[in-house]
Amino acid sequence: MDKDTLKGLVILIGVALALAIFAVLGTEDGVQKLSCVGRAILHGVAITNIHGVCGL
C-alpha cells in the first residue's frame, strides 16, 4: 500500500472515531445509539437510513 492509501485510511478511521465520540457525548443515551448504529451497519442498513432506524 502506498502513502496515499494509508493517509486515506487514517482519515476515514479518524472521522469514524470522531463521529462515535460525538454520538456518545452529544446525546443522552449515546451508548445505546452508538450500538444501534453499529448493529445497523453490520446488518446492511444503508447509511442514509440509519438516522430513521436508530432515531438519531
State the pTM of this model: 0.52
Q: Tell me the pLDDT tens digit for each residue of 2-27.
A: 888 999 999 999 999 888 788 777 77
In the chain, domain spans: 3-54
Query: In terms of pLDDT, which residue wins out, 34 or 18?
Result: 18
Instruction: Give the pLDDT band (50/70/90) at residue 56.
Output: low
For residues 56 and 31, give the distance between their C-alpha atoms in angstroms, rounded to a whole number.
12
Sign of CA dihedral 38, 39, 40, 41: positive
Share of the chain above pLDDT 90, in %: 18
Pull the grid cell for residue 54. Answer: 436508530
- To the nearest whole number, what is the mean pLDDT of the chain? 85
